[in-house]
Amino acid sequence: MRSSTLPMSSAGTMTRSEASLRRLPRLPLFGWSAFAGARHASLPCVLDQPHVVFTSSGRAAIALALRDLGVQKGDRVLVPTYHCPTMIAPVAAAGAIPLFFPLDENGTPRIAELARWDLAGVRAMIAAHYFGLPQPMARIRQFCDDRGIALIEDCAHAMFGEADGRPIGSHGHYAIASLTKFLPTADGGCLVYGRTPAKPPALPSRSFADQLRIIANTVEVGAQHHRLPGINRAIIAGFAAADALRGRRRHAPGANGSDPPTRNGTTAEFAPDSKIWGGASLWSRWIARSARRGRIVARRRRNYRHLAALLADLPGTRVMQPELPEHAAPYVFPLWVDAPARIYQRVRSAGIPVFRWDDVWPDIPMMAGDTGSDWAVHIFQLGCHQDLELDDLAGMADTLRDILATVEP
């Protein structure tokens, strides 16, 4: 139900647009619409690469790539200063040393500076396509080849697209991706080998209980958001009845999505018997085959462009990439915010689907010309996924404008 509360400038009062955003999903939803539209997308997909292994998550795929390379204690791995901790956790879990490299204003590694570094003992480099906007990977791959360094192409934000005229995920010695960021499911990632693997990893299957839990969580969230017309009420009632029989309320499966785990618990997470070494669920593999890719790409591109227009003149902010590249299917819409600490929690509380990578790995060095540390503070990653409508985006823009209007210069 929409609130009748009028917009007010006083802190703590919810505006009409804020109230209408409370139910916006932060990640894609399972529903009938996921199977509507063109089966194939206008852009290549990471999952179409020749040697794909489905993993439990994107970070698990990084861990498997490092294991395949034989990375061990004392080795070094080049990682960007702008990152989610889940990118660095597998490096630390392997006993390797993260060697942070600087980024330019486009999020591209500063290769000229890296070329002057002592890179002895460096086994791998992780380079990311931030926000789903392709990076120039050919030059990065050449840099790695010249020095005997394995390139891990991080496509967690970029399941679809092209870079330097080649499909995303085809530049690295390895590539990794995350299913949950682009597909309506609750688990899964993938590891792509740049060559035929000598011995593909034999990943154990998820337990029957895990498989059921993943299906239940995905379907319940879809029903909560009314994405399954005809059976929404029955599904919600069924889960409510199951909760009543248990005599307790299950932890809700996160109707607005959830933030990725931080570095806490790294050692236990990557223990030899951990679930992280398992494969993706059968449900997620089915979703990866069955979801209509044409809709995913087309609607993400539409939503990104619409947000670019809505936020072009938003005070106290700057659109990072106003023109969406032709060969990109965005994960999020990056927005620079001048005074992020004053508004981030309110933006989150308002229900706007937003992420921020301000929880970075410790001991990152300050380097001249590096944008990574600034991005971690100032960039809001706004949702633009396929299950957001144009009215949702307008509500997000209105709410951001209302919130920013309360910020003193």
Residue-wise pLDDT tens for the chain (409 aa)?
333 333 444 444 555 455 566 679 999 999 999 999 999 999 999 999 999 999 999 999 999 999 999 999 999 999 999 999 999 999 999 999 999 999 999 999 999 999 999 999 999 999 999 999 999 999 999 999 999 999 999 999 999 999 999 999 999 999 999 999 999 999 999 999 999 988 888 899 999 999 999 999 999 999 999 999 999 999 999 988 888 887 755 554 544 443 444 444 456 788 887 888 999 999 999 999 999 999 999 999 999 999 999 999 999 999 999 999 999 999 999 999 999 999 999 999 999 999 999 888 988 999 999 999 999 999 999 999 999 999 999 999 999 999 999 887 6
Q: Domain-by-domain residue ranges, the chain?
A: 16-38+293-405, 46-193
CATH superfamily of 16-38+293-405: Aspartate Aminotransferase, domain 1 (3.90.1150.10)
Distance CA 50, CA 170 (A): 9
Intrachain domains 16-38+293-405 and 46-193 with the same fold: no
pLDDT at position 245 is 81
pLDDT at position 210 is 93
H-run or E-run covering 190: strand 189-193
Residue 331 and residue 182 in contact, taking contact as beta carbons nearer than 8 Å: yes
Architecture of the domain defined by 46-193: 3-Layer(aba) Sandwich (3.40)
- Structure token pair of residue 378: 């100032």
Q: What is the DSSP code (8-state) at residue 156?
A: T
Q: What is the DSSP code (8-state) at residue 321?
A: -
Q: Is the dihedral of CA 260, 264, 266, 271 positive or negative?
A: negative
Distance CA 156, CA 128 (A): 8
What 3-state class would DSSP assign to 362? Answer: coil
- Of 372, 304, 331, 325, whose CA–CA distance to 163 is shortest? 325
Residue 385 and residue 333 in contact, taking contact as beta carbons nearer than 8 Å: no
pLDDT at position 16 is 47
- Structure token pair of residue 193: 């080998």
pLDDT at position 142 is 97
* Other Cβ atoms closer than 10 A to 193: 20
pLDDT at position 230 is 95
Distance CA 150, CA 132 (A): 22
pLDDT at position 145 is 98
DSSP E strand stretches across 76-173: 76-80, 97-101, 122-128, 150-154, 162-163, 166-167
Name the phi and psi angles at 76, rounded to 5.
-120, 145
* Angle (deg, nearest 10), helices 232-246 and 208-224: 130
Residue 275 and residue 57 in contact, taking contact as beta carbons nearer than 8 Å: no
